[in-house]
A and B are shown apart, each in its own frame.
Chain A
């Protein structure tokens, strides 16, 4: 019975609002924009978090990626002829990092070189990644055919290669290609597997793998290709000596990632004269996402706050006018036997209906804003159930908050005076 009474009150509220369509709509606008802003705010924030999480997943959530990087001074002198730049991570660095930290469970060294590769009659420049089987744990990708590198490949220094899906497709390698011979430069390798790959940036961190990778055992890469690389540039040959291009480690506890990264940084500082490395922490992307979220929250939050306040005051104003207009109705209801409380309920529900309808329209507007943000800035936005329910809850609360005063005002109407009211 109580439910039907509330339902009837809601219906009565809707009918009264429909009686003054334009007025009701204009009154709702503030709430519409306020709720719209809240929806946009939540979906942008949610999108930023989701994007960051996806990126972190690609990078490895508990990973720390240490990359070799030509230092600024080296960059300046390397234009001279016959100069050889020596920089980056060393085999010793890898050993020290892998063994010194208790919370580092797995570590993979990475040695890179680019080679024209040939399978049957097809040629494609591949990035040859010398690494260990740990790589496939730290950069987990789906295995499409064959197998990944094994510890025994390392021990035997077997000339085997795992291709990535994209490179394999370009070289016309398929499942049947497993066991065939691929040439990297002049050296022959046996294709043992094909894995899927990611590529590109995640935040400001390079994703460890690329589409044109071929993975071979670390020791093989070192023996076949050495540590000295020659780059052909317009100014002549440029030579570099880099032992390791990357070291990827995994920390057992996400809470320790930052501390370990700091420890690695300090350790490397002691052994390197120049800053020729960079330590990246994928988990830090979450912090960036939080920062993005905060910026949007401040902007949209202020818009939402002001709109909701103004909207609420607008609703209060219109409801006060409505109470005056309907003084006689209130008098009739009171004379019939309605208690003050029931008059309060009636007007309160009417206000909540008004503000909630504003909220529902605002939800539509709010769904449009993230869509436009995504369209124009490419930022990921996500609508969640929470992102829908919270704004609705806010709009209802606005109705209660700003409807209470007019409703109490209505209940104070003296029925005797109200019945004589014209």
Chain B
């Protein structure tokens, strides 16, 4: 429980730090890169390495590449839809998380599972 609380606090702090950076950096399109900063990895990797070892973290790194590829496709999809359709940002970006899940699941099936 204490470990989860620690992860919550570190995760919140790292995400907030990158959110401030993203708000500060202009132009806005460059500030957008901070929305895909390695926040969760930075927040968890030290504790994970301490608990499970470096080989475990390396394996997570490989899978993170698949997750990042899915994030790339997802972000492109959100950008495309927001530019071309008259829709609100929050529901659009939430529903399109299915794109992330679909690409991630496909990469897991064809690359990571073996």
- Asked if A and B are interacting partners, one says no
Residues of B that sit less than 8 Å from A by CB: none
Residues of A that sit less than 8 Å from B by CB: none
